[in-house]
Amino acid sequence: MSKLGLVAVLLLLLLGDSASVFAQNVDITGVRFGKNGATTRFVMDVSEPVKPRIFMLANPRRLVIDIPNSNWKSQKTAKASGLVGKYRHGLFSADTYRIVLDLNKAAVIRKSFSLPASKGYSNRYVIDLAESSQSDFLAAVKSSKPQITKTVAQVPSVEPVQKSYDGKRIIVVDAGHGGPDPGTLGRYGSNEKILTLKISREIKRELERTGRYRVYLTRDKDIYIPHRKRFEIAKRMGADLFISVHVDSIANSKVRGGTVYTLNENASDKEAARLAAKENKSDILAGVDLAETNNEVSSILIDLAQRETMNNSAQFAEILVPEMRRQVKMHRRGHRFANFLVLKSPDVPSVLIETGYQTNKQDARMLNSRDGQRRIAKAVSAGVNKYFDLQIALGR
C-alpha cells in the first residue's frame, strides 16, 4: 500500500463516515446562562443561523449540543448557573463542535428556538431548561437519543494495514483527551489535551528518526476520540505497539514523577485505581452515550490471547521505565497496573504513560517545555528500540 493509501486509511479510521472535511463556516462567538424563575436559559451567539442536534444523557445527567460545521471564537468564559453546574466544549468530529452541559438536577427542555440578528445582537440559539422528575428526565433521554455514529470496527471498507511490508514495526501513539474533554489543568494554564498532543508529536518524530518504525497518531489536532475507538485504530493499523500519553494532577502539589501503566483488572494500589477511574471518565466528559458502547471487551481479560498481550505490555513497561528515569523524574514504583479502558486491546501490547504532574511546579515546568517534551520522546524511543530488539532476539 502506498503512503497516500495509508493516510487515507487513517483518515477513514479517525472519522468513520465523516471522512470528508467540511468547511467550518459558523463561528460560536459566545455563550451565556440566565435564570427566570424555575427556568434556566442557555444562549449561544453564532455568526450564522444554526440547527444543532440536541440530546440528553443519563448517569451522569448531561445535555449535549452538537453544532455542525462550526468553530469556537468566544474570548470570554461564561459562568454556568441554575440547573447547569458546569459546561465544556470542543471539536468532537471533523464537522461537529460539541458543547456539554452538566445538569445539577433532573430537567427537560421546555423549548428551544433561534433568534435572528437584531438591535446589536448576533444570531442566537436559545434552550430553556425546566426542572423535572427523574422519570420525565429519563423519558427525555430516551426520546432524544441520537443516531449512533459507526465505530471503527463497523467500517467495512477499511482493511487492516499489511504488517512488515517494508520491515518496519507499526506504532500508534495516542494523545490523551481532546475536544470537549480537556483533561487536567496545570499550573501554567495548559490543558492536558494540549500537552499530550505536543508530547505525542515529539514521540512520533523521535521514533521516525530511527528509520525503524511507521508511526501514527490517533489524533493530530484538538478532537475527541472515544476510548474504544482509540485502541480499535491501533488494531486496524496492524500496530505492534500502542502508547497512550497522559499528564496527571493531584491535590498534593509536592507529588511528582512519571509512571508507566499496563492493564490489569486489579489495580496495584489505591493511586492506580484513582487514576484509572479518572481517566475512564473521559467518554462521559466528552458527551459519549455509554449505553451504546461495545461491551465486547468486558470479558477480554480471561482470554488467553489477551493474557499474552498483557505479558508483552508489562515486558515493554519494565524496559521503558529505566529509560524514562534517565531522562525525567519518575515515581519510585515506575510500573503500575490498573483497569484502563484505553489499554484493553486484545492483541496489541499497550501502555499508558503518565508523564508527570501538572500540579507540581517542577513537573509542570518540564512538561510545558520543548526540552522536557523531547526528553520524554527520547526515553520512549530508547525503550521501544530495546523492546523490539528483544522481540527479534526471541524470534518474534
| Tens place of pLDDT per residue across the chain (396 aa) | 444 444 444 444 444 433 333 345 899 999 999 998 889 999 999 999 999 999 999 988 999 999 999 999 888 889 999 999 999 999 888 889 999 999 999 999 999 999 999 988 899 999 999 999 999 999 999 998 765 444 333 333 334 555 555 789 999 999 999 998 888 776 766 789 999 999 999 999 999 999 999 999 999 999 999 888 898 899 899 999 999 999 988 889 999 999 999 988 776 667 667 767 767 777 777 777 766 555 444 444 445 456 788 899 999 999 999 999 999 999 989 999 888 888 888 889 999 999 999 999 999 999 999 999 999 999 999 999 999 999 989 888
Of 357, 365, 334, the residue nearest 252 (C-alpha): 357
Domain 152-393 top-level CATH class: alpha beta
Farthest-apart Cα atoms in the chain, separation = 74
Angle value at C-alpha 204, between 200 and 208, nearest 5 degrees: 170
d(CA 192, CA 367): 10
pLDDT of residue 14: 45
pLDDT of residue 178: 92
Q: 3-class SS at 342?
A: helix
**Burial grade of 371 (CB within 10 A; 0-12, 13-18, 19 or more):** exposed
d(CA 284, CA 58): 10
Strand ranges of the sheet holding 62-68, from the earlier edge strand across to the other edge: 53-57, 62-68, 96-103, 84-93
Q: 3-class SS at 115?
A: strand
Helices 3-15 and 227-236 sit at what angle, rounded to 10 degrees? 160
- 61, amino acid identity: R
β-pair type (241-248, 169-175): parallel
**Burial grade of 299 (CB within 10 A; 0-12, 13-18, 19 or more):** exposed
pLDDT of residue 291: 63
* Number of C-beta neighbours around residue 267 at 10 A: 19
pLDDT of residue 24: 58
Contact assessment for residue 197 and residue 272, using Cβ atoms and an 8 Å cutoff = no
Residues of the chain with CATH 2.60.40.3500: 26-143
pLDDT of residue 343: 85
d(CA 88, CA 73): 14
**Burial grade of 52 (CB within 10 A; 0-12, 13-18, 19 or more):** buried
pLDDT of residue 303: 56
Residues of the chain with CATH 3.40.630.40: 152-393
d(CA 42, CA 20): 31
The CATH number, out of the four listed (3.40.1160.10, 2.60.40.3500, 3.30.70.20, 3.40.190.10), of the domain defined by the range 26-143 = 2.60.40.3500
Q: Provide CB contacts within 8 A for 21, sequence distance 6+.
A: 94, 95
pLDDT of residue 148: 47
Q: What is the DSSP string of 163-207?
A: TTTTS-EEEEEEE--BTTB---B-TTS-BHHHHHHHHHHHHHHHH
d(CA 395, CA 374): 31
Q: What is the DSSP string of 62-114?
A: EEEEEEETEEE---S-PPP-TTEEEEEEEEEETTEEEEEEEESS-EEEEEEEE
